[in-house]
Structure 1
Amino acid sequence: MDAPAGQTVAAASANNNDNTAPTANPNGPDTQRSRGSISSLLFLALLFILFGGGSRGDDLLTRQQLHDSLQSLVDQQANFSAYLRNETSNFTLTQQDAHLDPVIQYFLPPSAYARPYQPSYYRNITGFLNGETRFVNLSSVTNSTLDPLAHALLQAVNLTEAAGRRGDWDWQAGNRVQFSVLESRPADNHTINMIHGKVDLFDKAADRTIRFTVDGVHFPLNGSFYGFVEARGRHSELRQIPSLVPADVRNETGQAVNAELLQRIDRLKAIITSGILPETEGTDDSLVTSCPFILHAQIHPSALSQRQMEEVEEEMNRPTGITTARRPVLLMDAVLVSPECGILLHIDSAKGLMSQRYWRKTINYAGVAALVYFALLVALVREIGRCQTPAMLSRIGRGMLIVQMCLDAFAFTAHMTFAIVADNRASLPLIAPGFIACILLMFQMQFSNNIYEVQGPEHPSPSPPPTRPAGAGSAPAAEALAIEAEQAPLMQRLKTLALRTIETLREFSGAFWLLISLGCGIWLLFDTLRASNFMVRLAHYVFWLPQIVRNVRRNMRMGLSWEYVLTVSAGRLFFAMYIFACPSNVLGVEPQAWASYLPWAFAVQLLILAAQDYLGPVFFLPRGWVSDDAYDYHPLLPQPDSEAPEQSLGDCSICMDAILLENDAAKSSLLAGAAVKRSYALAPCHHLFHTQCLERWLDIKNICPQCRRPLPPL
């Protein structure tokens, strides 16, 4: 079964000092669990084992240190194996506090999962579970039923020390939790699965995340979980897991744990033999909190029979296309309790997504994303082929392409990073949209350069400083200019320097904007998947704003085709809504409330562009704000004779067809200050054309096709 790469952290543990037996009461203020005596060096070595890949890390652990860790792990496995055979051993199983079970059963009552028939559960839940946590401070419980249970559990705990162990994490904030679980079945054991993974807590208010590692067991027959949860940088004692389970299955659990220790020994030997040391992940979260947790969890039973559940899971693991029962929803209730810190986290109905379904969804998303990016690429190539003349390029807002370059750089880095990290059957499909996004980025850079070559002269260059010839008895010209520059006001010198810098950047415009786009893409990848950054929202909301502003400033209608505008709008809106509005997107981004306004934002911008194309670029501005230099190609003309056989104004000088009048009575009074687009266009040289014919002609040349007189923009 494929495990989500980069999504599971399995923390291994072992005890370096087997001569230290744990006390009977693990909750006392001066006692330490046996797992606390394991050296952090051994924890790092075992943590490396479970990552399964990486690069040479000579700066992390030396070969001698790995040999020491291996020897310590072998000794601990030998002691634990002797304990299971009832032989003399230095290992002692810790007895859990008898007051712990009543507190857990208050939140996970066994009767809540009782059914009148034999229930069935998922046998393997490798994947992700997401839910919300409810914080309970066991030292100040107000519930009359829970209060005596919590008081009995914490009677031997120093509450002052417990508060110090909690660290600076805001436990009372509304935290979201994500379980990333990897299950494995020990050899010769069909009733117990070993689980490894991580538990991430997200403080949405403070925008913080803390990660815990989890080690435990899963009983597929009744859907129950037991395990230890420690902050990243600390470790749990794997051999103490049997102390958490019911007494009738402790021996069987011990055998499963022993098999897991043997597997870890083999993995560590393989690492030493290969000489490749995997890298560690992340930072030490034990600095944030030192609270250890005990995990008790229960999967919700399904309404299927055991045979139907086995068919569903078999079809999920090895699809054959057969018809099975409807796949039940994976829901799990969990309790994370830390008697040493006096806190409890309750997770109610966390929703799960199996790894098989997750990667299948990822492949489906990659296919759809590749098609969308291919449509965007085709639309852009067609638009580049259509916009070849300076007249067309001068009417395109370059800022619109720059925003798209940033978004496509983000898409390229995100898809490629996801594909590399995944390293499974979804990697190759994810490369496809990333590769097409990269090609799209290159074409956009080319298109942007073409536009700059036409629009660049619109920006005036800074005038050179005046030269002064050297006269008799005066300083040389160079010294005179230097003295004048030093005497110039500071703001004037800064302005000159800024203008020269901008002009230099324009000389390398393509490379400059490419670097800016790639930098923004990488930054958005690492900073904006939380969907809390204003830049991403702004980029989606005002996507066509540069084109609208360009139309107003130049008093020209849009130079882009509506085929390109609608294709780009639909494609960009698809990605925006999928990432920020879809509750089960493969990126794990939570739905954002502001995403519901994105379609309206796109619609408003498209309506403005359509109105500018039909009513004129400055139709929404007051008449006093519009320059008088703008030429009106659509003045009111005398109506033709009503008795004439054809109601036309004459023949078009381009297509030579008759110019028929439309019903323009309402148009003339719609907006007095707008250049209303009619079926005819009268040039300053008094030659009459169809509006569409003249538009197509002006896309090629800015002169009259008859008299060759220069024409203003239409």
Structure 2
Amino acid sequence: MANNPPPFAILLVILLFLYLTPDPPSPGESHRQQHAVAHERGALEALNNSTYGDLHLGKEEDARPLNLTGFRPEHGFRWELLESAQDKARDQARYALGETADGLIEGGSDQYPLLYHNVTGFVEGEWRRTGAYDGPHVNLSAITPHGTYTSEDWKRNVTATSGDVRIHFREKENGEAWNTSVRRISARATIGEETSFGTWWEMILYGIHFVDFGEIILTTTSEKFDGIFGLPHLALSNHTFSLGRDLLNKTLNETIEKQKEGILEDSAPWSSTMEGEDLFSVPHCEYVFYLQQHPVPLNLPGGAAPGNSLVLHHLEEELRFPHRPFLPKTPDMTMSMVAFSPDCGFTIESKGPPDLAPQEGKHLKGPKTEAYAFVARRHVLLFTVIIAAQLLLLLRQMKEASTPSTRSRISFYTIAILALGDGFALLGFALFGMQIESTTMLLLATAYVAFLSVIFFGMGFLKEIWTVQSTERSREERQQAANSPQAPNSPETTQPETLPLPVTARQAINSGATPIIIPSDQDIDAEIAENQDGDANANNQGSPRRGFGSVYLRFYLLLFGLVFLSLHATTWPASVQSVYSSTLTFAYMSFLVPQIYRNVMRNCRKALRWDFVIGQSILRLLPFAYLYAYKGNILLIEPDLNFLAVLCGWVWLQVCALLSQEHLGPRFFVRDTWVPPAYDYHPVLRADEEGASLPSGAKVLAGEEAGMTTTTKAGESRDKSKKIFDCAICMQDLEVPVIASAADADGAGASGLSGGLLARRAYMVTPCRHIFHSVCLEGWMRYRLQCPICREVLPPL
């Protein structure tokens, strides 16, 4: 009969079906979509009916207020900051482009600078606040009369005087086919404040990119600010206003038509709200960014000559469609920034010349996406080598732990933590591989190596360890059940009620004869152990393998839970996110702690290969050393050498603890009352008068007889503080230190005790008083936990 699928698989299929099935639009959503389309149509019509200069409210006599949300006088926006921000943007353009800046902005110059035409990539740097700030003063009731806010605290409200900023640009690869001088562009900006809490804000902005002179204007859009529809009025000249209006008139109309036809179901396609932030309606500050690209430092003769522009064009084409295995060195993008908030009333700008010295900042710098992806591929390839090396060490450890005795020593949780780390890497590379097209194949290949490490080998090794240690867990459960007081009417103590035998049943007759018991011709100890295991598993056949199914479930639930929590943590404040990542990293790098604990509880000196311990410690630390010590890491994490030093020190302490347990004993740093009693295979041997405390099997030295008067008795070496025994495994002499009798305890024997700590590790004494070389008996006990001489059951190491 075929096996039924597990309930978890059926539940997973149902959840995936419900998640992937598109929901039909509700009547409320359809009405909201129609209202949004009508509003966007009116805003686009207002843009087409306006002229440049209408936004300068109260500045000119012929100025007309724009019929856009956030642009009307009664809304209370601080549009008086626009003129100063535009003047600052023009000054930055003059500094970056020189004398031709004004002509390029007005459209009267054909001397185009060396600039990247496609700025897809990211730039980052420091910002400073300029001017006074008195907080937001906006008439929210006039802007959104039907909107309700759950809080009066404004988000994205920058109150610090300085901080960090990072902007990720995304631009169409080939631009607009009908217009090559202006393009639409989107960006994801992250603004951080230098405060004690490390506050940072994220937003999505949409705008236009003037390709000829490198000017980029970005703005946010929300229910209280039609930023994308009023963007041309934020331009620096009438020429750029006309270019921007023509571009937006075409692109916005295409998006509105998609919404009207149902192709695009998003009612706010230009919203600046990040995913997951729209759970609660909270007012947030709006932003307008002016970014000026600086010329690319190619250091070619002739400056902005047409030939050099062609060289830059070929460089961009080679980055986008590489034909050579090694790309040339690509200069980073450099941009100066000025941004202001029209509703919150503050202005910030990037740090750099000419206002500040180059030592204080060099504006915003960063690589293009193609150059970043090329460097990222090399770094990911190195990480693939690290995962392959980890897998090789795991295979060597699995080959070493090929017997039940060796598997029982290994901590299940140590291997589980390593498998969780590989699973985390698997899902992380798979998710990034689906999002970053330029490195998809390499990221998926790395994810496949991690898949082999965690699914085939990691979980297989965990299953073997779980199966071997199931007997130990059953023994502990039975011991706990025996020690716990049972209820008087518990099922264990109540005899089952049975019906009396029928009258015609045959009664047992006691003949008085003595029963004859025929002994078994097999291994009695093995039969006893088999009967005990059979009784224990009579009601639960195959319990170790079936019980591992729950371990599978818990493992993958924990893995997916950590991944989803980590993805959600990217939206947390910087301080909370730092605490979460540091805690998770520290817990992951504590993978040797469970093994140290198991060594103490089982009194085991060594369970893992040293190449596995040292190799895994180094290989697991290398990615964190790359992230916390290398500034150009692919995750753009700021270096933190202090935390990296803490991680390295913590791993070093764990390795030293395992080394000390092997040479000084697994319980040398804990009290005897803290741990359960365990047999000591390396006892101190004392020579009393009868020799009762010494192991059996003392060897008679060659040339010595019982009747001869010599200074050396049988079984003694020339040194009175040592005795010679015969190892029954290797058949070689074993010379062990022996403490003198009580009469001589204060003599030479006492001095031998202080120096014999490491010498006791050379021999092992069984509970049946047989002595062997430590290497010989450990090798024997890897396969059988029986004394090689008398077949007595031995305690596990």
Answer yes or no: same fold by TM over 0.5.
yes
How far 1:71 sits from its partner (Å)? 6.9
Q: Distance in 2 between matches of 1:57 and 1:377?
A: 47
Q: Alpha carbons of 1:265 and 1:441: their partners in 2 closer, same or farther (altered >3 Å)? A: farther
2:782 to 694, 699, 705: 699
Does 1:249 pair with 2:240?
yes
Q: Which residue of 2 aligns with 1:131?
A: 125
Moved more, 220-229 or 404-413: 404-413
Q: 2:178 aligns with which of 181, 188, 206?
A: 188
**Residue of structure 1 in register with 2:579 after alignment:** 532
How many residues end up aligned between the 2 structures? 605
Write out per-residue CA displacement over residues 224-257 of structure 1, whole angstroms, 9 at most, x where no aligned residue: 2223234698541335325423344333333333
What SS is found at the alignment partner of 1:225? strand
Instruction: Structure 1 unaligned segments of length 5 or more: list them.
Output: 1-52, 141-153, 471-475, 479-502
| Partner SS, residue 331 of structure 1 | strand
2 CA distance for matches of 1:698 and 1:257?
A: 79
Q: In 2, are the aligned partners of 1:129 and 1:353 still within 8 Å (CA)? A: yes
Distance 1:277 1:508, change over 3 A: same
- Identify which of structures 1 and 2 has the higher relative contact order when contacts are C-alpha pairs closer than 8 Å and 6+ apart: 1
Residue of structure 2 in register with 1:545 after alignment: 593
Change (3 A) 1:652 1:113: farther
Counterpart residue number, 1:45? none
CA contact (8 A) 1:632 1:675 kept: no
Q: Paired residue for 1:605, among 654, 663, 668?
A: 654
Cα distance in 1 for residues equivalent to 2:128 and 2:164: 9
Q: Work out whether residues 169 and 289 of structure 1, in 8 Å CA contact, stay in contact via their aligned partners in 2.
A: no
Aligned partner of 2:245: which letter?
Answer: G
Q: Which residue of 1 aligns with 2:207?
A: 216
431-440 or 696-705, which moves further after superposition? 431-440
The alpha-carbon deviation at position 686 of structure 1 amounts to 5.8
| Whole-angstrom CA distance in 1 between matches of 2:244 and 2:596 | 68
Matches within 5 A, 1:300-699: 300-304=294-298, 305=300, 306-321=309-324, 326-348=329-351, 349-364=363-378, 366-422=380-436, 426=440, 429-430=443-444, 431-433=447-449, 435-436=451-452, 438-439=454-455, 442-443=459-460, 445-456=462-473, 457-459=475-477, 460-462=479-481, 463=484, 465-467=486-488, 510-511=551-552, 513-514=554-555, 517-518=558-559, 520-522=561-563, 524-526=565-567, 530-533=577-580, 535-592=583-640, 593-621=642-670, 630-633=679-682, 652-656=727-731, 678-683=761-766, 687-699=770-782
Superposed displacement of residue 330, structure 1: 2.4
| Contact 1:299-1:333 within 8 A present in 2 as well | yes
- How much does 1:547 deviate? 1.0
Q: CA deviation at 1:555?
A: 1.8
Report the Cα distance in structure 1 between the residues aligned to 2:450 and 2:258, rounded to whole angstroms.
34
Counterparts in 2 of 1:408 and 1:686: CA distance versus 1, 3 Å: same
Q: Deviations over 1:520-555 (max 9, x none)?
A: 423542355634226414313422111112212222
Contact 1:336–1:344 (8 Å) recurs in 2: yes
In structure 2, relative to structure 1, the CA distance for the partners of 1:465 and 1:710 (3 Å cut) is closer
Aligned counterpart for 1:171 among listed residues 134, 147, 158:
158
The corresponding residue for 2:695 is none
- Give the aligned residue type for 2:650: A
Q: Give SS of 2:785's match.
A: coil
Shift in alpha-carbon separation, 1:291–1:627, aligned structure 2, 3 A:
closer
* Match status 1:104 vs 2:88: yes
Q: Does the 8 Å contact 1:119/1:303 carry over to 2?
A: no
**Is 1:58 equivalent to 2:25 in the alignment?**
yes
C-alpha deviation, 1:324, in angstroms: 6.5
Partner secondary structure for residue 321 of structure 1: coil
SS of the residue corresponding to residue 332 of structure 1 reads: strand
* TM-superposition CA deviations, 1:246-298 (whole Å, max 9, x none): 344333333333343354356546x6359899999433399444432221112
CA distance in 1, matches of 2:678, 2:44: 90
One-letter code of the match for 1:284? D
User: What one-letter code is carried by the residue in structure 1 that aligns with 2:336?
Assistant: D
User: Which one is further off, 75-84 or 567-576?
Assistant: 75-84
SS in structure 2 of the partner of residue 138 of structure 1: coil
User: What one-letter code is carried by the residue in structure 2 that aligns with 1:618?
Assistant: R
Give 3-state SS (helix, strand or coil) of 1:614's partner. Answer: helix
Percent identity over the alignment?
22
Q: TM-score, structure 1 length as denominator?
A: 0.69
Q: Secondary structure of the residue that 2:783 maps to in structure 1? A: coil
In the alignment, the residues of structure 2 paired with residue 669 and residue 232 of structure 1 have an alpha-carbon distance, to the nearest angstrom, of 86
Given that 2:259 and 2:267 are in contact with CA atoms closer than 8 Å, whether structure 1 keeps it comes out as no
Assess if the C-alpha contact under 8 Å between 1:178 and 1:201 holds in 2. Answer: yes
Determine if the alignment matches structure 1 residue 283 to structure 2 residue 277: yes
Distance verdict in 2 for CA 1:314–1:102, change over 3 Å: closer
Q: Which moved more, 1:627-636 or 1:342-351?
A: 627-636
Structure 1 residues 559-599: Cα deviation after superposition (integer angstroms, max 9, x where no partner)? 22223323432332234434555444444544444133212
Aligned to 1:8: none
Cα RMSD of the aligned pairs, angstroms, is: 5.0
* Alignment gaps of 5+ in structure 2: 1-19, 53-63, 72-78, 101-110, 142-150, 301-308, 352-362, 497-542, 571-576, 687-714, 738-747
Displacement of 1:223 in angstroms is 2.8
AA aligned opposite 1:303: P
Partner-residue secondary structure (3-state), 1:237: coil
CA distance in 1, matches of 2:485, 2:66: 86
CA contact (8 A) 2:209 2:215 kept: yes
CA distance in 1, matches of 2:233, 2:23: 36
> Is the 8 Å Cα contact of residues 217 and 226 (structure 1) preserved in structure 2?
yes
The one-character-per-residue Cα deviations of 1:142-195 (angstroms, maximum 9, x if unpaired) are xxxxxxxxxxxx9xx969999x99825552246543322212322232222321
Q: Which residue of 1 aligns with 2:704?
A: none
State the Cα distance separating 1:453 from its structure 2 match.
0.7
Partner residue in 1 for 2:710? none
Corresponding position of 2:227 = 236
1:197 to 183, 187, 211: 187
Between the aligned partners of 1:691 and 1:464, the Cα distance in structure 2 is: 42
Given the superposition, is the C-alpha separation of residues 187 and 233 from structure 1 closer, same or farther in structure 2, using an over 3 Å criterion? farther
Decide whether aligned partners of structure 1 residues 561 and 290 sit closer, same or farther in structure 2, where only a CA change above 3 A counts.
Answer: closer
- Secondary structure of residue in 2 paired with 1:706: coil
Asked if the contact 1:127/1:180 (under 8 Å) is kept, the reply is yes
| TM-superposed deviation, 1:655 | 3.7
Q: Distance in 2 between matches of 1:640 and 1:250?
A: 104
Give CA-to-partner distance per residue, 1:52-89, whole Å, 9 cap, x none: x995562497567656766775676677567799xxx9
Q: Secondary structure at the match of 1:125?
A: coil
Using the TM superposition, give the Cα deviation of residue 317 of structure 1 relative to its aligned residue in structure 2, in angstroms.
0.7
Asked if the contact 1:612/1:618 (under 8 Å) is kept, the reply is: yes
1:272 aligns with 2:289: no
- Answer yes or no: is the 8 Å Cα contact 2:422–2:454 preserved in 1: yes
Tell me, in whole angstroms, the C-alpha distance in 1 between the residues paired with 2:321 and 2:40.
36
The aligned amino acid for 1:565 is: V
Whether the 8 Å CA contact 2:766–2:794 is kept in 1: the answer is yes
Report the CA distance shift for 1:339/1:528 in structure 2 as closer, same or farther (over 3 A): closer
Counterpart CA distance in 1 for 2:177 and 2:201 is 34
**How far 1:126 moved relative to its partner?**
1.2
CA distance in 1, matches of 2:277, 2:82: 35
Q: Distance in 2 between matches of 1:233 and 1:558?
A: 67
> Are the equivalent residues in 2 in contact too, given 1:373–1:436 (CA < 8 A)?
no
